[in-house]
Amino acid sequence: MRRLLLRACWMTSKTNSELRRGQPAAHRVYGIPQTINSASYACWLAYQQLASIQESPTESMEAKGRLLLPEALDQIFREELLHFHRGQGLDIIWRDTFRCPTEQEYIQMARGKACSILRLSVKIMMVFATTNTDINYVHLVDLFGIYGQIRDDYMNLQSKEYTDTKGLADDISEGKFSFPVIHGIREKPENTLILDILKQRPKTPTLKYKAIAYLKDSTHSFDYTLSAMRSLEKLVQEETAKLGGNRILETLLERLRQ
């Protein structure tokens, strides 16, 4: 179910990306109408799978001490899909109106766009858990999702691997207000260089390299982004330890840090 929803979210991501995960984006291959229809179908197929899970309750489902109950599954599904579309909607409206959000607004957007499907998956596991049923993992998921969104923004502008799979600074071509871009604009509001470049949605390297150099040397936005990531890593580690530790998650965080 989570895989279906992730694919649907990737397909409905309202960007003009040529590539997604190194492959031609679905809307570039099949067209926008077919892509939207397929994404909608995937969401309802996931909902159908959720309904079948509800009809087959597991053992040890006593309500006593349980944070989330099976009857809450419908509400969980609806709420998190709404959070996803609201988060993505903010990303779109900022891009299309050229309004640079605040850092706090960005975090709220990421809680919807980047965290909602993760939260949905974890909440479903919390519903059907047979141990640790009184433990709330949602805050950890939110921290990890926000970290992942900021890291993705950083890598889009600084990683050769991302350049190979998505194209050079694809976020700049989309006119996206990513985390480093927001810092760069707000750090020196009197300088409109980044806004001017975003408005042009450049496809060729020259303006992209100019924007990247400005963010690196003038506003030190990549250093700021790395500092924010390190702070979030520490919060994730602290929350993981508070919940009893998880070596798999700790290893994943170590790999993402590299």
| The two structure tokens encoding residue 112 | 């919807």
Query: Which tokens in the block code for residue 31?
Result: 């067209």
- Torsion over CA: 105, 106, 110, 113 (sign): positive
Task: Return the biggest CA–CA distance within the chain.
Answer: 62
> Tokens at residue 194, please?
């980044």
What pLDDT score was predicted for residue 95?
95
For the ranges 34-38, 45-49, 85-89, 117-121, which has the lowest average pLDDT?
Answer: 34-38
Read off the tokens for 199: 């408005």
Express each pLDDT in 136-161 by its tens digit.
999 999 999 999 999 999 999 999 98
Q: What is the residue extent of each domain of the chain?
A: 1-56, 66-257
- pLDDT reading at 58 higher than 60: no
Q: Is the pLDDT of residue 170 over 70?
A: yes
Overall average pLDDT of the 210-221 stretch: 98
**Which sign, positive or negative, has the C-alpha torsion 147, 152, 157, 160?**
positive
- Regarding the domain with residue range 66-257, which homologous superfamily does it belong to in the CATH classification? Farnesyl Diphosphate Synthase (1.10.600.10)
Q: Residue type for 114, please?
A: A
Identify residue 52 by its one-letter amino acid code: S
Q: Are the C-beta atoms of 154 and 226 separated by less than 8 Å?
A: yes
Summarize pLDDT for 59-104 with one digit per residue, the tens: 555 666 778 877 888 899 899 999 999 999 999 999 999 999 999 9
Q: Tell me the CA distances in angstroms from 174 to 88, 146, 165, 170, 213, one per residue in order.
A: 14, 20, 16, 6, 18
Instruction: Specify the pLDDT at position 62.
Output: 62
Q: 36 versus 230: which is more confidently predicted?
A: 230
Quick check: 16 pLDDT over 90? no
Structure tokens at 173: 């071509």
Q: Could you tell me how many residues make up the chain?
A: 258
pLDDT at site 216:
98
The first and second tokens of residue 114, run together, are: 């980047």
Alpha-carbon dihedral angle through residues 116, 257, 12, 22, given to the nearest 10 degrees = -160
